[in-house]
Amino acid sequence: MASADSLRMLEIAAAAADSKGGEDLVALDVSEPLPLVDVFLLVTGRSERNVAAIADEIEDKLNEAGYKRLRREGRAESRWVLLDFGDLVVHAFHQEERAFYALERLWKDCPVLPVTVAAPEASTRPAE
């Protein structure tokens, strides 16, 4: 079962991905089959530039929260960027790569975790 710390990392990463237009966020609890990883976060970007922006924002926000990246792959091409933060591994895909590699099918026996992204806070100013 994914640890509380892994779920906190997931929350930060999901919010970061959402803030850069990441789509179709899916989180999988891979702690049972993978002893060194708790959660995979899958996210789709519309273009290479969007995938790069999503990956960079996730990395920045997790670093700001005190989590260090162990490994990054695919940033140069930005078709499939893998960010390894130990307990959390983020897969930021271009739409075509996401469909082709279909990690959801590969890991279909793993529980899906809820991905919640906080709504922007409503303004407290009265309407004019």
Q: Where are the domains of the chain?
A: 4-113
Find the mean pLDDT for residues 28-47: 93
Q: What is the largest CA-CA distance in the chain?
A: 56
Of the candidates 54, 57, 47, 88, the residue with the CA atom closest to the CA atom of residue 71 = 88
Length of the chain as a residue count:
128
DSSP bridge pairs for 82: 73, 91
Give the pLDDT score at 51: 97
**Residues in contact with 56: Cβ distance below 8 Å, sequence separation at least 6, in sequence order:** none
Per-residue pLDDT for 113 more than 60? yes
Rounded mean pLDDT of the chain? 90
With a cut of 80, say whether residue 122 has pLDDT above it.
no
pLDDT band (50, 70, 90) for residue 42: very high
Query: What is the per-residue pLDDT across 66-106, written as a single tens digit (0 to 9) for each?
Result: 999 999 999 899 999 999 999 999 999 999 999 999 999 99
* pLDDT at residue 118, rounded to an integer: 65
Task: Say if residue 22's pLDDT is above 60.
Answer: yes
Which fold does the domain 4-113 belong to in CATH? Answer: Beta Polymerase; domain 2 (3.30.460)
The average pLDDT across 113-125 equals 62
Full-model pTM:
0.87
Spatial separation of the C-alpha atoms in residues 66 and 48, rounded to whole Å? 27
